[in-house]
Amino acid sequence: MFYHAYDSYLENAFPYDELRPLTCDGHDTWGSFSLTLIDALDTLLILGNVSEFQRVVEVLQDNVDFDIDVNASVFETNIRVVGGLLSAHLLSKKAGVEVEAGWPCSGPLLRMAEEAARKLLPAFQTPTGMPYGTVNLLHGVNPGETPVTCTAGIGTFIVEFATLSSLTGDPVFEDVARVALMRLWESRSDIGLVGNHIDVLTGKWVAQDSGIGAGVDSYFEYLVKGAILLQDKKLMAMFLEYNTAIRNYTRFDDWYLWVQMYKGTVSMPVFQSLEAYWPGLQSLVGDIDNAMRTFLNYYTIWKQFGGLPEFYNIPQGYTVEKREGYPLRPELIESAMYLYRATGDPTLLELGRDAVESIEKISKVECGFATIKDLRDHKLDNRMESFFLAETVKYLYLLFDPANFIHNNGSTFDAVITPYGECILGAGGYIFNTEAHPIDPAALHCCRRLKEEQWEVEDLMREFYSLKRNRSRFQKKTVSSGPWQPPARPGTVSSPESHDQAREKKPAKPKIPLLSCPSQPFTSKLALLGQVFLDSS
């Protein structure tokens, strides 16, 4: 299935973003990035095709340019382009790519991911810190751009942006992602729910429907995955509080409805296909029983239609007008993969089998796989979304491949020497972004010592000059002109006052994470290297 779609894209659509399978040609959809190639890159490695992975890495370096006059979705560019490039960067060595010195803290794909992410940063320059939904890659936010953004478009950055900050040492990405998350958290209603769309200039809710589906979905997903990736208890506590409100107000008989965010009254008794990620997310927080019951509800819809319609009226048990299509979405298959890893229940393999058979029978055409326009009569639409290769086929493959390296339980790993010490990679525990691009959580600890050691150097130098000044005062009974100040850290102003403030704000050093190895303290290295801060006088 993968190669039928992938080869069709290469033969008929590259370098356009996506394949049009009914007319056997291509079109740009999300910004003219050769998007399907970026989205499919890590799937190639999961399928074991290292030679094509290596070839595509070269093609992307030679052909993709982000300095273009294109209006791009901030959300989609992040999850598909930034996420796809970061994942491929971290998997490059495993794929046999000759990585440069300093990898994974440097590399061409990392630089591409950083360049793409920097093009998105102007969107975050709002009074609330919540981003616009669209940005022009050449000129920034267009004058007159709508300030209304969906909740998911605000809260779906922490996985990619925190990874980028950790690898590059530039905190700006993680900082803006965290601010956006917190502004949403602070905007929740008194009953603990968030709406669907918000004005990023005023912070006022524009669409007040609350649920777990379209427009909201990946905000909840990234609270959980961000908590796991960053070992951040606060993010997990935020999700668990949301989860309580979601159960109290939106869950009915293991279905999840849409309700008014301030009152909790039902506004739409519908299931949306995008909601099918929820059982997988429940499994990540250990709520297996509820996850399986909800999954089985969703599976009944698949059996009814041979796919999940975009909207399904729960009381009527049928599709909603103009929402009868199935664009080969991955969410139910994604949940099946997570739950099968957790339970081994063969029912989940049956869903995988049904999905393969349905997609092959209904959607397969000469040039790839076509979106199903209407599940009632199986009419097709002339589009193959890039997520079909990034997510749908990947999750199906991983469901049926228990020995895949993605499922590593920590029994094998690679030790990598970086400029900041030794780090461990490839031990498993991969965190999939919402486009199914796997991020190795251990990689976030490979390049972090740069900032921590800078702080330790500054501390040592402050201590030294403080002692020197005090000794001078004691000996001469005079006040010195003041100590030398080390350079300001990124984001601070180089002044004594700002250094004092920055020092006060320095986060407490975390305990050694589970997926990192303790290294020799920097002060010990200094001692071994000699007394480098001796007073020459």
Binding annotation for Ca(2+): 434
Among 331, 334, 385, 458, which one carries the catalytic annotation?
331
Q: Which residues are CB-contacts of 81 (< 8 A; sequence separation ≥ 6)? A: 31, 33, 35, 38, 113, 116
Classify burial at 217, counting beta carbons within 10 Å of its beta carbon; exposed 0-12, middle 13-18, buried 19 or more.
buried
| CA 95 – CA 97 distance, rounded (Å) | 6
Among 17, 76, 221, 324, which one carries the catalytic annotation?
76
β-strand 134-136 against 251-252: which pairing, if any? unpaired
Calculate ∠ Cα 67-132-79, nearest 5°.
65
State yes or no: is 217 an active-site residue. yes
Please report, in range form, the residues annotated as the binding site: 434
| CA 25 – CA 482 distance, rounded (Å) | 69
State the residue for tokens 């959300």: 75
Q: Which residues are CB-contacts of 290 (< 8 A; sequence separation ≥ 6)? A: 254, 282
Amino acid at 343: T
For residue 158, which of 143, 145, 171, 139 has the smallest C-alpha distance?
A: 171
For residue 224, which of 242, 203, 250 has the smallest C-alpha distance?
A: 242
Query: DSSP alpha helices (H): ranges in 1-135?
Result: 2-12, 35-46, 50-63, 74-76, 83-91, 108-120
Annotate 372-417 with DSSP letters as a single string.
Answer: EEETTTTEEES-B-THIIIIIHHHHHHHT-TTSGGG--SSS-EEEE
Annotate 110-149 with DSSP letters as a single string.
Answer: HHHHHHHHHHHGGGG-SSSSPPPSEEETTTBSPTT---EE
On whether the CB atoms of residues 299 and 242 are closer than 8 A, the answer is no
| CA 407 – CA 398 distance, rounded (Å) | 8
CB atoms within 10 A of CB 362: 19
Which element (helix H / strand E) includes 425? strand 421-425
| CA 428 – CA 441 distance, rounded (Å) | 8
DSSP assignment letter at 512 = P
| CA 273 – CA 349 distance, rounded (Å) | 19
State yes or no: is 310 an active-site residue. yes
Structure tokens at 13: 């659509």
For residue 201, which of 186, 189, 183, 216 has the smallest C-alpha distance?
A: 183
| CA 58 – CA 502 distance, rounded (Å) | 41
Among 18, 42, 310, 435, which one carries the catalytic annotation?
310
Structure tokens at 489: 């850290």
Using DSSP's 3-state secondary structure scheme, residue 270 falls into strand
Using DSSP's 3-state secondary structure scheme, residue 187 falls into coil
State yes or no: is 331 an active-site residue. yes
Catalytic residue numbers, as ranges = 76, 217, 310, 331
